[in-house]
Structure formats: C-alpha cells, structure tokens
Amino acid sequence: MVSPVAILYNEGLKEYDFGPGHPFRGTRYHLFHQFLQERVNGENYQIIGAEPAGDEDLRLICTREYIEFTREYYRAAHLGLEYDGRFYQFHSVDNRPLGRPGKLEEAARLIIGQAKKAVELVEQGKFRKAVSLGGGLHHAKPSFGEGFCLYNDVAFTSIYLLERSNVKRILILDTDAHAGNGTAEYFYRDPRVLFIDLHQDPRTLYPGTGFTYQIGEEEGRGYTVNVPLPIDAGYESYKLVFEEIVQPLAQEFKPEIIVRNGGSDPHFNDQLTQLGLPIKGFRMIGEKVRALAELCQGKEIDLIASGYNERILPYAWLALIAGLAGIEVPVEEPEPIPERYMKDWAVHATEKVVREVKAELKEYWSCFR
C-alpha cells in the first residue's frame, strides 16, 4: 500500500481571490478538494489543516514595511474601501484587485502557515511527502508583490528548512509555466539551494526573466538553472529536460529535500500561457519528482496553485499528486487534444535549449562536461 501523502488544505483558501473578472479566483481550491474526494480513495492521502502565519514567520521572507502595507491595503480592499496610494511602491498592477476581492492577505498568511506545517510534518518524519494546495507563489519578493503573489511560500519553505532544521542542501524545482523570478532573487547568491526553473521562453511570457545565462552570482553562481522552453513544448520536451538536466544535476547536488512548485499552467489549453503539456505530462512530472526524491529518503514538499483554465486545473493537479505519491488513479484528458498537440513538434527546439543550458553550466557541474 502507498504511504499516505499529507495534503494541506483549509476552507479559508477560497479567500485568495482577486475579485470578479480577475484570472486568479479562489474557487479553484474548493473545486479541486471536491474533485480529489470524488476520484481518490481517502486511504491514499490525509487532509491536514494549518494555522495562518504570524508576523514573525513573515519576517523570515519580507520587510516589516511591506507586511504592514500589504495587510492594511488588502483588508481595506476586501471591505470596499480606498487605501493609501502607495500601492505601486509595494505591488505591481497585476496584484490590484478587481471589484471586491476576498480576504487576500489573510489567505496569503494561511498559505505560509501551510508551508510551515508541511516542513514540520516532513522533518518530524510524520510524512515523507506533503502537498500544500494554494502554494507556489513564486513571484513575490521581500518588499514587492507581483504576479498574483503576496508572500513567497517557496522561499519561506526553503528558508524555514535552512534556519530551523539540519538541512544544508535543498533542490527547488519550479515547473510553473512562468519563471519564478521572486524565488530566484531570494537564492541567487546561495549555494545551499539549487534552483531549477522550467518555464515558457521569457521573451514570450511574463515576467520576462529566466534566460539560460541567468545562473546566479558570487557563491551561488551555477546554482540557478533556467530552462526556457519554446512555445508548444510538450510531453517529449519535458521528458528530455528531466533526463538531460534535472536528473543529472540532482544526482550530483545530492539534495536533502526537494521543494517543487507549479500547477496546471503548462497545459496546452491554459488561458494565459502557450506551452503544450497534456494531462499525462503532469503525471510524468510527479513520477519524475518521486524518483528524484529517492535521493533524499523520499522527502519532498509540493506547492500547487497555478492554472488559468478551471476545466483543466483539477485534472492536472490530480495527475501531479498521483504521480508524486504513486496513487493508481486514472486521470483522463478532460477534452479532446487538438491535432497540433498530438505530437511534440517543439522537441527539436527544446534540444537546442538543453545544449545552451549545459554550455552555461559545464564550468560548475561535472555532469555537463
């Protein structure tokens, strides 16, 4: 029997909602929770709640001024009130709510609280794998929020591990379609964290960072690995990147734990991106991460939130979790695959990207020489 995976979830996640008309709505969480319960035997997972993070937790990753502004601004926005006009000092336009948002900042604290709980569950040996629904807010920075992200739980998970446990080497694997620019900034000079980021070519998608030549600085040089995938990159492209880049690097780095983030937005029918991954590709990612985790006694924390087609989202999220946890459950493609995605036509362009990544990093990693 498969060891149960811990799934961090709370009804309060529905408040992570930027308002009517915004692409990021809080309905995704209840939608997936219901889908999970309908599809998967409860013996395969355990739903666990967590307390919201306090200011002391947030100060691990954010400045005090940013925390105070963010709390007061979003509290006022939820009540339909105007608040101080310094918004663009602390947040980008995509974090501006439309209409009446949910209790965004409170839900963001809950997501950090779930990350903290996930670390404790895995480090105490209660679970080998923990999944935080709502996590993966990888664009947020210490004093600036953007990309629908208020507090960066990917950074929090890793910093909390480094400061509050005996972990010395962490592999962060970001498979969100957008580059994790916030996470990259936190660890750009830190050799304790190997950050591997698979994302759509930044010349074609927000946030416009994540080029192969962005490899870290100072002691962290060589520990940031960007894999900018061509438009329409699908199953074969992702398989190639895992086999040629992710697996060799992980084997050489020897992480003590893996932190992965990313949801359904690499799917070919996502509404904001232009990649080509089918549902079976998400299961493959989960399976590859499960195999990588054998390098560190199976210890892995998964953070899942993204995706901008709610018809696709629950299938992709479930496929990721099923692959990660070894849950034998069929996860079908929810709609017909268009002819152009029946084959991964982008794989030759992906091969070129792989060669570029290896050329940038061969000085730092013997597996690429």
Measured at the CA of 283, the angle between CA 368 and CA 214, to 5 degrees, comes to 35
> What is the fold, at CATH topology level, of the domain defined by 5-368?
Arginase; Chain A (3.40.800)
Q: What is the pLDDT of residue 3?
A: 67
pTM of model > 0.95? yes
Give residue 358's identity as a one-letter amino acid code: K
Cβ-contact 190, 155 below 8 angstroms: no
Q: What's the Cα-to-Cα distance from 231 to each of 196, 228, 268, 336, rounded to whole Å?
A: 19, 9, 10, 20
- Cα Rg, the chain, nearest whole Å: 19
Q: What's the Cα-to-Cα distance from 369 to each of 194, 255, 365, rounded to whole Å?
A: 18, 21, 7
Cβ-contact 315, 34 below 8 angstroms: no
Q: What distance lies between CA 367 and its chain's CA centroid?
A: 26
Strand order in the sheet with 45-48: 45-48, 5-8, 129-133, 300-304, 257-261, 170-174, 193-200, 224-229
Closest CA to 154 of 177, 181, 129: 181
Q: What is the pLDDT of residue 192?
A: 98
The residue whose two tokens read 């569950």 is 121
Q: Could you report the average pLDDT of every consecutive run of 10 residues in the chain (369 residues)?
A: 83 96 93 96 95 98 98 95 88 92 97 98 97 98 98 98 95 98 98 98 98 98 98 98 98 98 98 97 98 98 97 98 97 95 97 98 98
Q: What is the pLDDT of residue 1?
A: 40
Q: What is the pLDDT of residue 84?
A: 75
Choose the catalytic residue: 139, 178, 199, 267.
Answer: 139
Q: What is the pLDDT of residue 82?
A: 82
State yes or no: is 139 an active-site residue. yes
Structural domain boundaries of the chain? 5-368
Q: Which residues contact 11 (CB under 8 A, 6 or more apart)?
A: 30
